[in-house]
């Protein structure tokens, strides 16, 4: 048997960690964009400075060598690193099918956290998995490592607490926010009747476009085919990127509540 209030609470904490991944990817994207702008500005300045020299070279003078600066080299390194943050499309030419690094990494974190808490028998369906397993079919991280080590590296890469070090919280759900409570007859159900649905980043297109206030991390709980609870994680509350907090809403069927938790 599995306790639904505890399960909803653990899903809320897992979604919070998924939000941490999304925030980490966005932070690195912003750093890369800043370096891109710096590189472009540097290139324009050097082009303007070299214009007289180029004119002299046309008249027979020595040509100026191509400028190499520390800023340009740093920007090039950052752009190379940014290749793992690139956007791909599930359907060629359809911007609505955009998929980013954050989608897959967030799902791996959420799934591994829930499996560590509830075991491999918990049925998890992840949107970014072809095999419907939510993680076991994709043991590869961005570095290409496989197996347990590759799975664990995703936590280090994005600065997310591993469930082995910081277990998921199972007491986040207030009894008043749910139609089930610890004393109700439907608070405990067979594990085999539960399915968890994970949408690690709802609003991928909005994420790519920079409309961060529309990005969410969703986890739904279904028992015997009936939705009974879920979690909405907001990695960028109000579209803010400077805050170190994420917001989430959790609740059982017929009710809901709000909760805010630090993302560090």
The answer to which of 93-107, 108-122, 244-258 has the lowest mean pLDDT is: 244-258
Residue 104: name the closest of 123, 120, 84, 121 by CA. 84
Q: What is the pTM of this model?
A: 0.70
pLDDT for residue 147 = 46
**Taking 70 as the threshold, does the pLDDT of residue 99 lie above it?**
yes
**Kind of pairing, strands 226-234 and 194-202?**
unpaired
Cα(58)–Cα(55) distance, integer angstroms: 5
**Taking 90 as the threshold, does the pLDDT of residue 107 lie above it?**
yes
Over residues 26-44, the pLDDT tens digits come to 888 787 767 767 777 777 7
The answer to which of 8-17, 76-85, 166-175 has the lowest mean pLDDT is: 76-85
**Helix (H/G/I), strand (E/B), else coil: 223:** strand
**Kind of pairing, strands 98-99 and 88-89?**
antiparallel
CA torsion sign for 203, 26, 111, 6 is: negative
Alpha-carbon distances, residue 211 vs 160, 215, 260 (angstroms): 24, 8, 21
With a pLDDT cut of 70, the percent of the chain lying above it is 58
pLDDT for residue 70 = 61
Cα(86)–Cα(80) distance, integer angstroms: 10
pLDDT for residue 257 = 36
Return phi, psi of residue 183, to 5°: -100, -5
**Kind of pairing, strands 226-234 and 245-252?**
antiparallel
With a pLDDT cut of 90, the percent of the chain lying above it is 39
**Taking 60 as the threshold, does the pLDDT of residue 114 lie above it?**
yes
């Amino acid at each position: 048997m599995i306790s639904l209030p505890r399960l909803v609470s653990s899903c809320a904490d897992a979604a919070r960690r998924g939000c941490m991944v999304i925030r980490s990817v966005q932070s690195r994207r912003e750093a890369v964009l800043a370096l891109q702008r710096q590189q472009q500005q540097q290139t324009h300045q050097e082009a303007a400075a070299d214009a007289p020299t180029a004119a002299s070279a046309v008249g027979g003078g020595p040509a100026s060598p191509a400028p190499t600066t520390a800023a340009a080299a740093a920007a090039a390194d950052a752009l190379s690193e940014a290749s793992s943050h690139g956007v791909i499309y599930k359907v060629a030419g359809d911007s609505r099918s955009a998929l980013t690094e954050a989608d897959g990494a967030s799902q791996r974190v959420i799934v591994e956290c829930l499996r560590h808490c509830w075991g491999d028998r918990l049925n998890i369906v992840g949107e970014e998995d072809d095999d419907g397993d939510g993680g076991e079919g994709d043991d590869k991280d961005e570095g290409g490592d496989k197996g347990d080590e590759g799975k664990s590296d995703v936590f280090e890469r994005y600065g997310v607490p591993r469930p082995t070090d910081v277990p998921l919280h199972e007491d986040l759900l207030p009894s008043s926010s749910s139609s089930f409570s610890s004393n109700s007859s439907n608070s405990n159900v067979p594990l085999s009747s539960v399915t968890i649905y994970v949408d690690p980043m709802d609003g991928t297109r909005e994420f790519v476009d920079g409309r961060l206030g529309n990005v969410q991390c969703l986890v739904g709980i279904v028992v015997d085919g009936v939705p009974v609870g879920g979690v909405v994680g907001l990695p960028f509350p109000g579209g803010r990127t400077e805050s170190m907090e994420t917001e989430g809403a959790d609740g059982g069927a017929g009710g809901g509540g709000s909760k805010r938790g630090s993302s560090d």
